[in-house]
Amino acid sequence: MSNDSQQDQRSGAIEEDAIVVVFGASGDLAKKSTFPALYALLVEGLLPANTRILGYARSKMSDEKFDEQLFWKIRDDEKEGHIKANDAKKEEFKKMCKYVQGPYDKDEGFQGLEKEMRRIENEEFDGKRANRVFYLALPPSSFAQVSHMIKKNNYWSGKINRLVIEKPFGKDTEDCRAMMDSIAEDWKEDEIYRIDHYLGEEMIRAIYHLRFANRFIEPLLNREHVESISVVMKEKFGAEGRGGYFDEFGMIRDVGQNHLLQAISILTMDPPDSMDNDSMRDNKVDVLKSIPPIENSDLVLGQYAEGDGKKSYVDDETVPDNSKTATFAQWAMKIDNERWKGVPVLVKCGKALDEGIMTMTFNFKAPKHNVFNVSAPSALVVRLNPEPAIYFKTNLLKPLSKGSESISDEMKYTVPGRKVAGDKLAYEVVIGNVFKGDQSGFVREDEVIASWEIFTPLLRYIEGPNGPTPVKYAYGSHGPEEQFEFEKRFNLPVDQ
């Protein structure tokens, strides 16, 4: 088989005869996201014909326990009215799924998995070899080892094989390169699907249509018209229940280097020639490579203390008493290209704050001829939470005014029936695209490396011996007071 035909096969759609193996099947990610998304794809008729699903983990698990793992989130969503109960589809899904117990570091475990896959092919697929999707719902430290074991024991070269891994992809540039290099020894780039589920979020995907399906929008998005760009992600909850994981990674690694930087790259990249796998990702990489490392001085860090009847971050039993891990981070970025040079990008993210909100805003410059002396800046806003929407903040004539008084108002598009954005639909989209062979919503290796190069020097400063100590803020407050002085440096509107 020629190299071209091998690549065509690797990148084609899986339309039938698929075995999906979910590694880490006993963990929270599989329970809360992976299995519910696979079930939703079944209900919507979007799984390949003749699909079987194997859960694999080290834990011993009875059929009853695996059933609970499969349907825990689905049943919860039914109770809350998020999805319609469908006993027939649940029974069908249950019959599609089986649990295989085994280690992640011994050949015999993967050989046992292969034996079960061969049984399915022989008994349920009439002896035909299946296409194989390997979903690693595992800690990143396991990716290299497990992907090697899969290639050694479970890869079938006559069919499509896909390896799906979840962020975070390493902890810094060096760690990421080592992980990517190790996986690349066994897997081709077009077989690897790196999930950042934010790329499946409805309002993130809506940015493409907003920018590239409307001729009047794109000419506004450049340094001539935009004063600043702000990205805000505030969460009302703390790190409760995730203290062990969160303390290892911190706020910047948890959402900044991945979710929020993905959003920024989509907001600011040049228009692609097409929406195919590489044209769009090439332009995202170009804009990431034009962002220099963040300056140490362009940073505010905070850590929540007790408040609102809740414990402080360090009072969590899974967090070290002397932890300096930030639960609030704010920084400024620069984009050194012709389109955006001189336009600051201000990013704010934090836990245990006064509201849950996610917005991305282009703040426009004041009119060249400000004849109405307006002070409220106009803006284009993409809001994920609450109530997903896209809207312009504009200055208009005050209704029924007998003079020329202006008011600030909104021209808005909202998503019908959506009160909050969530990762349920996002995971359906990204896993569905794994079957389609559409990599446009996944992260390419050079894209991951470029994103780490922006943050690695800053992270080394933060975690070094002379790194800053996060300032305290009360649980349920608006965060550190220092954020407001920081924003004044960049003339950011006060409501951002």
Phi then psi for residue 365, to 5 deg, are -70, 160
- Give the per-residue pLDDT at 5: 47
DSSP state of 315: G
How far, CA to CA in Å, does 300 sit from each of 232, 328, 402, 485?
Answer: 14, 8, 46, 10
480: which residues sit within 8 A by CB, 6+ positions away? 300, 301, 302, 328, 471, 472, 473
Chain centroid, CA 334 distance in Å = 22
For residue 419, pLDDT beyond 70: no
Query: If pLDDT is split at 50, 70 and 90, which confidence band does 257 have?
Result: very high
**Active-site hit among 209, 259, 369, 478:** 259
The Cα 235–Cα 258 span in angstroms is 17
How far, CA to CA in Å, does 273 sit from each of 277, 281, 282, 479?
Answer: 11, 11, 10, 42
- Give the per-residue pLDDT at 496: 58
How far, CA to CA in Å, does 418 sit from each of 33, 154, 193, 346, 410?
Answer: 19, 41, 28, 27, 19
pLDDT tens-digit map of 420-463 = 555 557 899 999 999 999 998 899 999 999 999 999 999 999 99
Closest CA to 144 of 167, 114, 178: 178
Query: If pLDDT is split at 50, 70 and 90, which confidence band does 290 have?
Result: very high
Query: If pLDDT is split at 50, 70 and 90, which confidence band does 397 have?
Result: confident
Bigger pLDDT: 198 vs 298: 298
By CB atoms closer than 10 A (0-12, 13-18, 19+), residue 187 is buried
Q: What is the mean pLDDT of residues 331-344?
A: 97
Radius of gyration of the chain (CA): 24
Three-point CA angle 396, 340, 195, nearest 5°? 100
- Give the per-residue pLDDT at 40: 92
CATH number for the domain formed by residue range(s) 199-422+436-488: 3.30.360.10
Amino acid at 193: Y
- Give the per-residue pLDDT at 399: 82
pLDDT tens-digit map of 106-141 = 999 999 999 999 999 999 999 999 999 999 999 888
For residue 246, pLDDT beyond 50: yes
At 317, list the tokens. 């039993």
Task: For strands 161-166 and 406-414, give the pairing.
Answer: unpaired
446-485: b (≥16 Cβ within 10 Å) or e: bbbbbbbbbbbbbbebbeeeeeeebbbbbbbbebbeebee
- Give the per-residue pLDDT at 217: 94
The Cα 346–Cα 355 span in angstroms is 19
81-85, 132-136, 206-210, 325-329: which has the minimum mean pLDDT?
Answer: 81-85
For residue 24, pLDDT beyond 90: yes
Phi then psi for residue 492, to 5 deg, are -75, 135
Three-point CA angle 8, 10, 15, nearest 5°? 95
The Cα 409–Cα 424 span in angstroms is 32
How far, CA to CA in Å, does 88 sit from each of 38, 81, 367, 396?
Answer: 15, 18, 60, 54
Closest CA to 392 of 131, 217, 145, 192: 217
Told to judge if 259 belongs to the known catalytic residues of this protein, a careful annotator would answer yes
Query: Got the DSSP string for 114-151?
Result: HHHHHHHHHHHSTTPPPEEEEEE-S-GGGHHHHHHHHH
By CB atoms closer than 10 A (0-12, 13-18, 19+), residue 304 is buried
For residue 417, pLDDT beyond 80: no
Question: pTM, whole model, 2 decimals?
Answer: 0.90
Q: What is the mean pLDDT of residues 349-367?
A: 95
For residue 1, pLDDT beyond 50: no
By CB atoms closer than 10 A (0-12, 13-18, 19+), residue 175 is middle
Evaluate whether 182 touches 142 at the Cβ level (below 8 Å).
no
- Domain 3-166, what architecture? 3-Layer(aba) Sandwich (3.40)
At 57, list the tokens. 């983990």
pLDDT tens-digit map of 179-222 = 999 999 999 999 999 999 888 888 999 999 999 999 999 999 99
For residue 6, pLDDT beyond 60: no
The Cα 459–Cα 447 span in angstroms is 18
The Cα 376–Cα 373 span in angstroms is 9
- 474 pairs with which residues across the strands? 305
**Distance between terminal CA atoms of the chain?**
56
The Cα 54–Cα 49 span in angstroms is 16
For residue 60, pLDDT beyond 90: yes
Q: What is the mean pLDDT of residues 476-484?
A: 96
Residues of each domain in the chain carrying CATH 3.40.50.720: 3-166
Residues of each domain in the chain carrying CATH 3.30.360.10: 199-422+436-488
Among all chains, which residue has been given the structure tokens 């897997």? 187
Task: For strands 226-234 and 357-364, give the pairing.
Answer: antiparallel
Among all chains, which residue has been given the structure tokens 């249509």? 209
Three-point CA angle 490, 492, 496, nearest 5°? 145
pLDDT-above-90 percentage for the chain: 73
Q: Catalogue the E-assigned strands of 247-315.
A: 299-305
Evaluate whether 303 touches 327 at the Cβ level (below 8 Å).
yes
- Give the per-residue pLDDT at 86: 87
